[in-house]
Structure 1
Amino acid sequence: MEKALWYLFAGTRGGVNRVRIVRNLRDRPRNANELAEELDVDYNTITHHLDMLEEHDVVEPSDHNYGKLYFLTDQFERHAETFEDIAEEVN
């Protein structure tokens, strides 16, 4: 998981936005539209980042298709300290 976190947040261009998404999801679950508005990022960009985060078990979606909420996974939460270390380097 640590390698995936380094790749997602420090090894790619979208890392800064992904850090922002994760930090927003820590406050409460949100859907892609809410994240796009909150972060002032294009909706399609947000969905791309959410797909990447889901693929690497950082977020998981709710069962609903319309207004689908995203949650941080338990696996990610176990590596929250690593995430914070990476996030400090990215910002």
Structure 2
Amino acid sequence: MTRSGKLWYVLSGSRGGARRAAMLEQLAEEPRNANQLATDLDIDYSTVRHHLDILVKHELAEIRTEEYGATYVLSTETERNWSEVEKIIQAVS
């Protein structure tokens, strides 16, 4: 799957894409842990964890620290292609 195809699939072609898009927007502002994302987006913690796992699996986000309260950041590839991510978010919003 192409990079663009992967972005479209994760952010619009699968259930929960809108939540993952919102999480990426938050991570673009600053690194956050799952609890911060849950609070900021008013989403259940376990739901946030599920979506973070998907973002990491598809290399859209990375874990900066592995210990308790792990912090997540955008992957380098996502940062590089942020304008494309924003276009997809606008298209599906």
TM-score range for the pair, normalised by the shorter chain length: over 0.9
Identity rate of aligned residues, in percent?
A: 41
What runs of 5+ residues in structure 1 fail to find an aligned partner?
none
Letter in 1 for 2:41: L
CA distance in 2, matches of 1:59, 1:39: 17
Aligned to 1:64, the other structure's residue is in SS state coil
* Cα RMSD (Å): 0.9
Letter in 2 for 1:6: W
Aligned to 1:16, the other structure's residue is in SS state helix
CA contact (8 A) 1:2 1:79 kept: no
2:29 to 20, 27, 31: 27
Aligned to 2:73, the other structure's residue is in SS state strand
**Deviation of 1:27 (Å):** 0.9
Aligned to 2:14, the other structure's residue is in SS state coil
Letter in 2 for 1:79: N
**Deviation of 1:62 (Å):** 1.9
4+ residue segments displaced more than 6 Å: none
Structure 1-normalised TM-score? 0.95
The number of residues matched between the two structures is 91
What runs of 5+ residues in structure 2 fail to find an aligned partner?
none
Residue 63 of structure 2 is matched in structure 1 by: 61
Letter in 1 for 2:17: G
Aligned to 2:47, the other structure's residue is in SS state helix
**Deviation of 1:77 (Å):** 1.2
Structure 2-normalised TM-score? 0.93
Aligned to 1:67, the other structure's residue is in SS state coil
